[in-house]
A and B are shown apart, each in its own frame.
Chain A
Amino acid sequence: MADPEHPGGLEVPRTNYTLLAVAGVLLAIPIVALLWVSSYARETPSLWGFPFFFWYQFLWVFICAGCTYAAHRLVLAARNPGPGKHGHIGDTDLGGDERGQQ
């Protein structure tokens, strides 16, 4: 329910934090992998004439797209817990409208 003092104040959706954490890991994987430069700064094994350094990063374009898409689906699911599952109210330090929600 919206807080009467904030007409139009919206509710925080119920959230499944386990799914959200999995999504977070999926998003972190490409970031960590690509910032860990020493893990791939080498020439071999090469592929179709491309040194490892180059084809490996091209490969991550696809892996990253997959991770982000999976994270997208997970976050959608996390924000809509099915019947019988109780989500939590997050962001309680964010001001004014928690009261009406429980």
Chain B
Amino acid sequence: MIPLAGRTEVDWVALSVLILLFLVVTVLGFMASRFKRGDTLESLDEWGLGGRKFGTWVTWFLLGGDLYTAYTFIAVPAAMFALGSVAGFFAVPYTIILYPIIFIFMARLWSVSHRHGYVTTADFVRGRYDSRVLSLAVAVTGFVATMPYIALQLVGIQAVLDVVGLGGGGNWFAKDLPLLIAFVLLAAYTYTSGLRAPAVIAFVKDALIYLVIIVAIIYLPTTIDGGWEGIFGAAKDKMAATNEVTGKPNGAFIPVSGQMWAYATLALGSAMALFMYPHSVTATLSSDSRTTIRRNASILPAYSFVLGLLALLGWVAIAAGTQPIGVDGEPNPQLVIPQLFEDSFASWFAGVAFAAVAIGALVPAAIMSIAAANTFTRNIYKEWLKPHATHAEEAKVSKIASLVVKGFALLFVLTMDKQNAINFQLLGGIWILQTFPVIVFSLYTRWFHKWALLAGWVVGLVYGTVAAYNVVNPVNGKHFGGSLAEIPGLGDLGYVALTAFLINLVIAVVLSFILNAAKVSNGSDETTAGDYFADAGDPRVEKDKKVRPKTGGQGMIIE
């Protein structure tokens, strides 16, 4: 007995194409260990940062594959489909202004990390203030914020499997087996190849994504009456229509007065937060020179263009009358893009599209698990548990940690309602932005006091969590109903994370002023002004590199 109201049959052609492409990237993942290979994989620099020698194009694919995740590809059009432009299209300004923002500070982070062998942002904070506590705060925030993000990549794969017709079987084993297999393979080649695996797979992922979206955006409007005008017309009608439950319009076609702050703060807050995540930093630090990241800031927007097109596919689905209904018979907006592909494309091309999403989940999941594992190894294991760990031990611990992290993510998705993963991801975004002052301001100045930064972080975290909890979904009455809350003193809705950040900032400034006036020690600084400009091939850095394996990287200056 299979209780299905939606699809019952499996699309075998699409499934075969999906499996075939999946096998191709699996082979590539295992072969990747030879890509730009160093002498050994037995150090974090090699396993966790690909030897720090990815050039402009590898970095472009890697960062593109890393930042524009499968979940983004599922969730952004889903938000457009269900709620309109404020909830969905802000992703476009977000991923545009992202690049001027990271242009400004990421080169400094790259340089100081290159100079001192930092693998994580918490490493940098440790070196800058000689503060284990502040470093731990940054590490734990990064780790906790990354976990649900990995879980959501699985949700992306699940959405595809659901539409192909898998995952509806009676018992949990048949239902979850495909996801389990996908993840075991991912875990295995991440374990053996480290960051090189996602770097190589990212080429395939990005090529497939570009192909599918360009085809979809050119072909699909020709199947709809009135082309683009018909699509925007249908979206406008749907958004303006009254929602039966809330008595308000379904969503926003174009932000109106009262929604502008929401749109702007979502874009700005998200852009500031993205490069605080460990996986973004890992991909950046794996690049081979200071200029690589800046050059990338001007070519990465190509992905933003594609993301914008993808967002509009959510509205193409409105005009096409797509019905996103899961194998369990429940409507689920997250299925809208896979369902649109399934309905509109020939089976084999739908298979290619599904593979693009599924493989799109593997790249960020791999990088995120590596980044979380690096953070654990450097800032928790080595810092608090085993200070004299060798480079080989670090790599070993990190490899195992990457397995554990993925295991937890899998467990999270399989045992809990996926709304939990979405809630935690929302909270993760709020939390990670609270590390912005500690990381970014500290790249420029030591005026901020370490205890003031810590206090700001705590208050921002608490405020953001409470504010997010108090957002109630008007449809189902549940907490964590969204990331918008009233901006105190302004009245309009705004992104909770950014409000929390401002409160964080005020606390940090006021307390720094007081603590500095009281001449409370702000720790010692192992970095020098020139470190923030170091570039590849600097003879003194090269000399240090030779010394580092003996002395063990971080902490070598303090003796």
Mark A residues whose CB is within 8 Å of B: 2-3, 6, 8-13, 27-28, 30-31, 34-38, 41-43, 48-51, 53-54, 57-58, 60-62, 64-69, 71-72, 75-76, 79, 89-98
Mark B residues whose CB is within 8 Å of A: 85, 89, 92-93, 96-97, 99-101, 103-104, 115, 226-229, 231-232, 254-257, 260-261, 263-264, 267-268, 291, 294-295, 297-299, 301-302, 304-305, 308, 312, 444-447, 525, 527-534, 538, 540-541, 543-544
B100 close to A27 (CB less than 8 A) = yes
B104 close to A27 (CB less than 8 A) = yes
Also in contact, A57 and B232, with CB within 8 A (given A35-B264, A65-B298, A68-B99): no
Q: Which of A8, A50, A90 contacts B228 (CB 8 A)?
A: A50
Also in contact, A95 and B297, with CB within 8 A (given A27-B104, A30-B96): no
A49 close to B227 (CB less than 8 A) = yes
Q: Which of B100, B264, B525, B531 contacts A67 (CB 8 A)?
A: B100
Interchain nearest-CB distance for B58 vs A (Å): 18
A49 close to B543 (CB less than 8 A) = no
B447 close to A41 (CB less than 8 A) = no
Also in contact, A61 and B96, with CB within 8 A (given A42-B254, A43-B254, A68-B297): yes
The A contact surface, by secondary structure, is helix
B228 close to A48 (CB less than 8 A) = yes
A34 close to B229 (CB less than 8 A) = no
Also in contact, A41 and B260, with CB within 8 A (given A58-B305, A68-B298, A95-B446): yes
Interchain nearest-CB distance for A16 vs B (Å): 14
Also in contact, A38 and B260, with CB within 8 A (given A72-B103, A93-B445): yes
Q: Bound complex: CA of A19 vs CA of B391, how far in Å? A: 42
Also in contact, A64 and B294, with CB within 8 A (given A37-B264, A71-B103): no
> Which residue on B lies nearest to A38, using beta carbons?
B260
B529 close to A64 (CB less than 8 A) = no
Interchain nearest-CB distance for A55 vs B (Å): 10
Report A-chain residues with C-beta under 8 Å of the C-beta of B302: 61, 65
A10 close to B538 (CB less than 8 A) = yes
